Amino acid sequence: MHARKKRYINKIMPEVKIKISTDIDSFYPILINNKAKHKVEPTHTLEELKVLMKKFPDKIKLLLSYKNNTVIGGALNFIANKNTSILFYNMIDYDYQDLQIGSLQIYESLKWSKENHLNYLDIGVSQLYKNNIIIPHNSLIHFKEQFGAQAMIRKVMELKL
């Protein structure tokens, strides 16, 4: 991990606590607000996440970030297989964006994955779309590389019938 990221994380650790939780109701409004900022909706509804968490309690882990007992962000991790977890949602309350809690949540997801004997943490795609063309999102790629991530190409195919 890049030294600057380590400094950010160490700086905010005394202020922000991260705990494993099942309180998806506290997380979901933050998820909605994050997605709305980018004019999209979450992949899952609140009800769908509740069903998934109930059906797969050992495969879905929610890490909530707290400041002064207030939820200010969260990371929802899915265990995809015996080697890999996916950081499916890494969301922050934008009122606290200056704290860099997104970075802390990635760090804690990495720690959690390692403690659970997983070899990989997929921290998601890093692309933009322009007129159905996929373009690398270079600043997001750089951000993820500061955690030791390596970029991989995902091919997208479309079948026209």
Where in the sequence is the domain holding 10, given as residue range(s)? 3-145
Mean pLDDT over 30-54 rounds to: 93
Strand, helix or coil at 27?
A: helix
Instruction: Decide: pTM greater than 0.75.
Output: yes
Phi, psi angles (nearest 5°) of residue 128: -120, 160
Q: Are 20 and 27 in contact (CB under 8 A)?
A: no
Mean pLDDT over 138-145 rounds to: 74
Cα(116)–Cα(109) distance, integer angstroms: 10
Does the residue 161 lie in any domain? no
Does the residue 51 lie in any domain? yes
Mean pLDDT over 76-105 rounds to: 92
Mean pLDDT over 47-60 rounds to: 96
Does the residue 160 lie in any domain? no
The predicted pLDDT at position 78 comes to 95
The predicted pLDDT at position 134 comes to 76
Does the residue 108 lie in any domain? yes
Does the residue 153 lie in any domain? no
The predicted pLDDT at position 95 comes to 93
CATH number at residue 49: 3.40.630.30
Q: How many domains are contained in the chain?
A: 1
Cα(101)–Cα(161) distance, integer angstroms: 45
Of residues 70 and 6, more confidence is placed in: 70
Does the residue 156 lie in any domain? no
Considering 8-12, 57-61, 154-158, the range whose residues carry the highest mean pLDDT is: 57-61
The predicted pLDDT at position 13 comes to 87
The predicted pLDDT at position 126 comes to 67
The predicted pLDDT at position 135 comes to 76
